[in-house]
Amino acid sequence: MTLPSMPSLVRRRAQALLLLAAVLLLPLGAQAQPTTTPPDPPAQATADAPRTAYLVRSADMLPVVLMSARTSLIGEANGFEAAAADVVVVGPAVKGLVHDSKHAEALTKSLDAGVRVVACGLAMEKTGVAQDDLLDGIDTAANGFHELFRLEAAGYVTLQL
């Protein structure tokens, strides 16, 4: 094995692992709740403003991401303004989206500012979070990773934390 072929081999292995994970998770995703459609961008956003999506895996990151998404929509993010901001929450972090969460106030402020928050249905199932447990206004997707892929395909700029 030569050194120049190493990155190609690593890339092929990563692609194979991703495909295997998708195949294994597909039956679980069929049991989750339907994906909601992102809202139209705010009218005040400029045509060249990006649409942004954040993938959150840790509930500790949730307040920071919500603040960043919220301030980007109202142009307070150091001159950066987004046309749309979606926050996709996966893994144990979905526990931070419930009514009595310590993040409830930040979630409400962000939802009121137009941030779309999406909970992963697979993570909800694994952590025992029911649809009724979620704060009002939070959308769900059968699979949070697939939701992020869908947003990327729709032209969103994404960041995974």
User: What average pLDDT does the structure give for the chain?
Assistant: 81
Is residue 3 predicted with pLDDT exceeding 60? no
Which residue range forms the structural domain that includes residue 41? 31-160
Q: For residue 146, is it within any domain?
A: yes
Q: For residue 6, is it within any domain?
A: no
Residue 13: pLDDT band (50, 70, 90) is: confident
Q: For residue 148, is it within any domain?
A: yes
- Choose between 67 and 75: higher pLDDT: 67
Q: For residue 10, is it within any domain?
A: no
Q: For residue 108, is it within any domain?
A: yes
State how far the Cα of 135 lies from the Cα of 101, in Å rounded to an integer: 9
Q: For residue 11, is it within any domain?
A: no
User: Checking phi first, is residue 141 left (phi over 0); if not, alpha (psi -120 to 50) or beta?
Assistant: beta
Question: Which regions of the chain does DSSP assign to beta strands (E)?
Answer: 51-56, 84-89, 116-120, 139-141, 157-160
Tens digits of per-residue pLDDT, 102-127? Answer: 999 999 999 999 999 999 999 999 99
- Choose between 29 and 87: higher pLDDT: 87
Tell me what pLDDT residue 28 has.
47
Q: For residue 18, is it within any domain?
A: no
Tell me what pLDDT residue 45 has.
45
Q: Are 21 and 122 in contact (CB under 8 A)?
A: no
Residue 20: pLDDT band (50, 70, 90) is: low
Q: For residue 7, is it within any domain?
A: no
Alpha helix (H) residue ranges in 30-143: 62-73, 104-113, 121-127
Q: What is the CATH number of the domain that holds 95?
A: 3.40.1260.10
Total number of domains constituting the chain: 1
Alpha helix (H) residue ranges in 30-161: 62-73, 104-113, 121-127, 144-153
